[in-house]
Amino acid sequence: MSIISILAIAIGLAMDAFAVSITSGILIKEFKNRHAFKISAFFGVAQGVMPLIGYALGYSFKSYIENIDHWIAFVMLVFIGGKMIIESRKSDDEKENFNPLNNKVLISLAIATSIDALVVGVGFAFLQVSVIPSCTIIAVVTFLICFLGVFIGRKSGDLFKSKAELIGGVILVIMGIKILIEHLFF
C-alpha cells in the first residue's frame, strides 16, 4: 500500500476525532496549549493502537467487529453527548461540568472515535501492509489534525461560551447517530 493511500486512510480515520477535538476546544474553560497536546495525544495514540489490535485479531474476527463497531461508537457518543446536554440544562450550582480534559472522558472518546481504525487494522492483515509504519502515520496525522481541531474549537468557543456544553453534547449525539446510520444504511 502506498504512502499516499496510508495518508488518505489516516485523514479519514481522524475526522471523528477532529470533530470531538473541536468540541473539546469549545468546552475548555481555562485553555492552555498543553490541553491541546493532551487531547491530541489521547486521540493520536488510540488511532495508532487500534489498527495494531485489529491487525492482531486478523480475519477470524473481522465480521464480528464490523457488525458491532458502529453500535459501540453510537452508544458511547450518545451517552457522553446526552450527559453534556443534560448538564447544560442545569443551573451553574447543580452542574458537574463536563470536563474534556478528564482522563476517563478522553479514553472513552478516543475509543469511540477509533473503533473504525480497529477494522482498518484487520484489513491491513489481509493486505499484508507494513503495520508499524502505517500505524505510526495514522497516529501522527490524527495528533496533528486533533491539535488543530482543539484550537479551532477554542476560537469558536468564544462565540458560543454560554451554550458550549449544549452545542458540544449535540455534536457528539449527532456524530453517534451519523456513525450508526452510515454503517446500517450505506
pLDDT of residue 165: 67
When divided into structural domains, the chain yields a total of 1
**Among 68, 20, 8, 22, residue whose Cα is nearest residue 46:** 20
pLDDT of residue 97: 60
pLDDT of residue 110: 94
Which regions in the chain score pLDDT beneath 50?
none
The rounded distance, in Å, linking the Cα atoms of 149 and 24 is 9
pLDDT of residue 93: 57
pLDDT of residue 139: 98
pLDDT of residue 58: 73
The rounded distance, in Å, linking the Cα atoms of 160 and 138 is 31
Domain membership of residue 97 as a residue range:
3-185
Number of DSSP helices (H) and strands (E) in the chain, helices first = 6, 0
